[in-house]
Structure 1
Amino acid sequence: MRHLFILIVVSFAVISCNTTKNLHSEEFGQTQQELTEKLAQISKTASFNGFGVALVNDNEVLYQNGFGVSNIKTSARYTENTVQNIASVSKTVIGLAMLKAQELGKLNLDDPVNKYLPFNVFNPEYPEVPITIRHLVTHTSSIVDTEAYLTRNVVLRDTINLVHNLSIDISPTKFNPPSTKTSLEGFLKNLLGTGGEWYSKEAFSERKPGSIYEYSNVGASLAALVLEKAVGTTYDAFTTQHILSPLKMNSSGWSFEAIDFSNYSPTYQDKQTPYPYYSLIGYPDGGLLTTSSDMGKYILELMKGYYGKGTLLSEQSYKEYFTPQLTAENFINRSASEYSDEYNMGITMGFGSTGNFGHTGGDPGMFSVIWFHKDEKMGRYFIVNTDWDSNLSGKDQKAIYDLLDEYYIKLDSLSKVTE
């Protein structure tokens, strides 16, 4: 879903930093412990039920942990093995998958999407201008999120308290009953294919494809469908084979059936009120379920890839992944904030105005962010399981980020892993 940016969480702490401690000095372990204790102290008064973090340099995971409460009903603690939906951070996987498929000779980023789709997609204002894969992964396709997409994408897991749960306000989206769940292809065909049940010209902006940056969740999911047709298997199967499994992200997956649901954290409207369990029909644009431990592996691979040491893609593919694709002419209202991921775009990876990069994500009851500081060679992951309290959460966020930044310097200087 459309990502939020300012958020962060806290509560209790669970001490379990499974980095390569055997390779490190006693001082390294003590420094990790200090960070854990300080984050745990913040968690006691924070405005969130639970959160997870991971911290990497360009060689190893320096720290990963979980804090607070995962499930208020069972009093389960939030640990580095707690599973959550990471929302739009999931989109960064689409870029990796596309480049892997390109390496395998299955597609080219500059191919028209209609080369692969079983239904035609075109902007009715510019029917002669092909929408390409590159347009989709850089949010310049002219495809936009309509009310039909927003109000049909989020589906409840079960029918428990169905009448009440359907009435919960999660504007601009809404919860839908389990019976409405459909295939990714059927969903997108009804939204974007002429003659589709929910098709509208409003699904396309008045901008020429390739010209203007307009963040699009449905466009990202369409990219995943293009990939499916190009490689001949489902998006979840392809990304599991080529991304999750090679990185040993064994606790991660794209559905409740693919993960250990006993480790899954509910998300919360506030510290007392859980949301019902839900999933996304357009799961590629925001539905990866994962843990802080697995995300440590993921952001480490991305950091290595940026410096030419990645294992998932070739050095050339990673260079394309991390190359800003747009110019000032592609933006109408360009975000110049240092920590915004919408100053420029790589292949689904966002760039801030300083050249640092990452992606944020937000769905009902949660927020996530990966962010990379290229000069410091620091990668950071952060996720929370509670809606942001506008009066309190900003202070919690700053306190946590300040600690992570401070202790990154210490842990990085004590790091023993080299190439």
Structure 2
Amino acid sequence: MKKLLLILALAMLTSACKHQSNGIKTEVSNNPAQDALTLKLDSISKQGPIIGFSVAVVNLDGVIYNEGFGYADIVNNKKYTPQTLQNIGSISKTLIGISLLKAQELGKLELDDAVNTFLPFKVINKKHPETPITLRQLATHTSSILDSDYYGMSYVLIDNELAPNERSMEYFQAAETKTSMEEYLEKVVGEHGVWNTDESFADYAPGTMYEYSNIAATLATLAIEKATGSSFKEFTKKHILDPLEMNSSGWSNSDIDISQRSRLFINKDTLIAKYELITYPDGGFISSTADLSRYLIELMKGKAGKGTILNQVSYKELFAKQLTKTQLPERAQDANSGIFMDFSKRGLGHSGGDPGIVTYMYFNPETNIGKIVFENTDFEEDRAVINSFKEIWKTLDLFESTL
């Protein structure tokens, strides 16, 4: 699942022509370097084991490179293109961070508010009942809320009837078990929740230690909904998707053109059954590399003091290192976290991993170059998928540095 990815470890082409594509400048392949990159990525695609993937490289001015490789649907011979849609995993959490800061700008909440200020049920770490859990702790994975075994209950089949070439993961739940995000969270972390066990919270107090938590991220989303009186889907559409003209992206099949959505694969012969997340804000955003490029460019502009969907004070908070050395585990002393923003050797951004996907979205704030990679093949059964993914990312790194 998502947290497994946590351990994985162009100011260029000046002679190229430019054209407008949906309001974003896109470099036309009129340069040998782009052609060489395409050849290398095509070679990786043909080697397998990734069925389909797409990459994007951007700078502050727009999209430099955006191509797709392999297949979104082998049976129907559909190519994976820059417009192909798929769920992007935990990159989705960065939209929670933007939403928290926008809600703070609107005067609806403060990052250091206790989450119980907004919830219809009480959330406490029973081992430290005197210590409140704050929104900032949720956003920096220091809340002491853990992903217990019940986190798997959030993965729900869209259709219980599977085709012969489809497989359901062992933790996928039947379609009829789907419930609301609020009801699920109350069961898992509510003070009297039926799924609230000793494994739901850490032994340490809230605010003292970093521990990645999808459930905590989703709880932050519920707080945003209660504070603003708006659903998270509506809030992100109004304050993120519409302003950035991300017209192809959304949180469910009803928000997108499903004919553009990729199937997800175990291998070329076996599909992963179609699923959705009750905790959709922590990993269920659906986008393409073409559409998400708009978002990445905005994040880069925000870091450079030129963003538009948040003010400069909020962007400064988004990208500020929030954690102290004592909060970080020994294995990750060089890492840090913004507000749902990952600081890593890859840059600023986030990664994602779910059944059938691996995704990266990071940018270098010094060079103002950003990169996105989506792929549609599961990495749990075949570790060669991760090796191939790493080769794609390494190729983009080389492409950036050599140019």
Determine helix, strand or coil for the equivalent of 2:119: coil
Determine helix, strand or coil for the equivalent of 2:339: coil
Identity of aligned residues (%): 44
Contact 1:53 1:380 in 2 (8 A): yes
Alignment correspondent of 1:269: 266
Q: Deviations over 1:286-338 (max 9, x none)?
A: 0000111111111111111111111110111101000010011002333257x
1:132 equivalent to 2:108? Answer no
- Counterpart-to-counterpart distance in 2, 1:4 and 1:355: 13
Which of 370, 392, 415 is the equivalent residue of 2:361?
Answer: 370
Q: Which amino acid aligns with 1:119?
A: F
Contact 1:144 1:214 in 2 (8 A): yes
- Counterpart-to-counterpart distance in 2, 1:391 and 1:323: 34
- Counterpart-to-counterpart distance in 2, 1:286 and 1:140: 19
- Counterpart-to-counterpart distance in 2, 1:94 and 1:33: 37
Q: Deviations over 1:271-299 (max 9, x none)?
A: 22110110100000000001111111111
Bigger Cα displacement from structure 2, 232-241 vs 199-208: 199-208
Alignment correspondent of 1:415: none
Alignment correspondent of 1:307: 304
Determine helix, strand or coil for the equivalent of 2:47: coil
- Counterpart-to-counterpart distance in 1, 2:101 and 2:49: 39
Alignment correspondent of 1:346: 338
Alignment correspondent of 1:212: 209
Which of 238, 241, 258 is the equivalent residue of 1:241?
Answer: 238
- Counterpart-to-counterpart distance in 2, 1:79 and 1:26: 16
Alpha carbons of structure 1 residues 57 and 123: separation in structure 2 relative to 1, 3 Å: same
- Counterpart-to-counterpart distance in 1, 2:245 and 2:70: 26
Contact 2:112 2:134 in 1 (8 A): yes
- Counterpart-to-counterpart distance in 1, 2:250 and 2:18: 21
Structure 1, gaps ≥5 residues long: 8-16, 338-342, 412-419
Contact 1:6 1:394 in 2 (8 A): no
Bigger Cα displacement from structure 2, 18-27 vs 51-60: 18-27
Q: Which amino acid aligns with 1:325?
A: Q
Alignment of 1:152-163 (within 5 A): 152-161=153-162
Count the aligned residue pairs: 392
Which of 248, 251, 255 is the equivalent residue of 1:254?
Answer: 251
Structure 2, gaps ≥5 residues long: 9-16
Alpha carbons of structure 1 residues 127 and 164: separation in structure 2 relative to 1, 3 Å: farther
Alignment correspondent of 2:11: none
Alignment of 1:18-417 (within 5 A): 20=20, 28=30, 31-150=33-152, 152-161=153-162, 168-170=168-170, 174-335=171-332, 343-352=335-344, 356-388=347-379, 390=382, 392-393=384-385, 395-408=387-400
Alpha carbons of structure 1 residues 263 and 18: separation in structure 2 relative to 1, 3 Å: farther
TM-score of the superposed pair, with normalisation by structure 2: 0.90
Tell me which protein shows more strand as a share of its residues.
Answer: 2
- Counterpart-to-counterpart distance in 1, 2:299 and 2:363: 9
- Counterpart-to-counterpart distance in 2, 1:239 and 1:375: 28
Alpha carbons of structure 1 residues 18 and 185: separation in structure 2 relative to 1, 3 Å: farther
Q: CA deviation at 1:27?
A: 7.4
Q: CA deviation at 1:139?
A: 0.3
- Counterpart-to-counterpart distance in 1, 2:278 and 2:178: 7
- Counterpart-to-counterpart distance in 2, 1:399 and 1:164: 29
Q: Deviations over 1:328-368 (max 9, x none)?
A: 1002333257xxxxx1110000112x593221111111101
Q: CA deviation at 1:195?
A: 2.2
Alpha carbons of structure 1 residues 141 and 18: separation in structure 2 relative to 1, 3 Å: farther
Q: CA RMSD in A?
A: 2.7
Determine helix, strand or coil for the equivalent of 1:293: helix
Alpha carbons of structure 1 residues 24 and 210: separation in structure 2 relative to 1, 3 Å: closer
Alpha carbons of structure 1 residues 375 and 394: separation in structure 2 relative to 1, 3 Å: same
